[in-house]
Amino acid sequence: MGRSRFGGRLLIGIIMAIVALIGYFSKTQVNPVTGEKQHVNLTPQEEVALGLQSAPQMAAEFGGLYQDPKVQALVKKVGQGIVQNTEVKNSPYQFDFHVLADPETINAFAVPGGQIFITMGLLKRLKSEDQLAGVLGHEIGHVIGRHSAEQMAKQELLGGLAGAASVALSDPNSPNGSAYIAQYVANLVNLKYGRDDELESDDFGVKYMVATGRNPEAMIEVMEILAQAGGPNRPAEFQSTHPSPENRVMKIKEAMAKYR
């Protein structure tokens, strides 16, 4: 009886995995800027709508917008300078740039569709507009690369596979054990995609800096700032979704040679 039940669970798990894989690989779109074929669940218009809806909540989590119009105007000027003078202008996204009030968190991020944020914690550490352009160009790269949409599709796939593994490998005596293992494997797979996205966005950042006459060396300076901010106890690269600053510097230099 036990073997029969295991066979039934295994069959259901296999079917669930097949359904998840078919769903993922059948949803393919061509990136309107890069021409790359990508597995995504959202259209560019849906990305824009999602980003606009989520932007206020994201800002609230970092203390809201920084209340200095001159600072906001500077960041918007630098960001729009990249958008209006590169291939980004022809994308279907609606770019806007915001400074968040949080003075301690060192971060910049983009939500789907073109809403881009930088915290005062990071902005106050930057020493030039070129460094700022490097940060914003990197975040623009996340939007153009459709990384959020890709990650959402991958999360859906990994969730489906994790669920399938939980059903197929479930142990009636330890129902939580197999689920934990399945989720752990899913997280490790997703970790790699996160680092790849960061490196691709660095490449976009260098490309846009060169195209707009900015000095891409400033991106290396930003990596030095991030390394100093992280201190000697920052996590190893494998344990972080971001590559180490040292690895990013190497890739940035390769991109500089490519685009110059």
How far is the C-alpha of 71 from the C-alpha of 139, rounded, in Å? 18
The amino acid present at 220, given as its one-letter code, is I
pLDDT band at residue 45, thresholds of 50, 70 and 90? Answer: very high
Using alpha carbons, select from 95, 132, 97 the residue that is nearest to residue 214. 132
Query: Please, which residues have CB within 8 angstroms of residue 260's CB and are 6 or more apart in sequence?
Result: 210, 216
b/e per residue, 12-42, with b = 16+ CB within 10 A?
ebeebbeebeeebeeeebebebeeeebbbbb
CA nearest to 9, candidates 167, 180, 173, 174: 167
Residue 251 has pLDDT above 90, yes or no: yes
Say how many domains are in the chain: 1
226 contacts 252 by C-beta, under 8 angstroms: no
Please state whether beta strands 28-30 and 37-39 pair in parallel, antiparallel, or not at all (unpaired): antiparallel
- Look at residue 158 in the predicted model and tell me its pLDDT: 57
pTM here is 0.78
pLDDT for the residue 131: 98
Using 50, 70 and 90 to split pLDDT, how confident is the model at 38?
A: confident
Residue type, 113: G
Q: Residue 88: which domain range?
A: 2-259
DSSP secondary structure code for residue 241 in this structure: S
Strand partners, 97: 116
H or E element, residue 77: helix 69-84
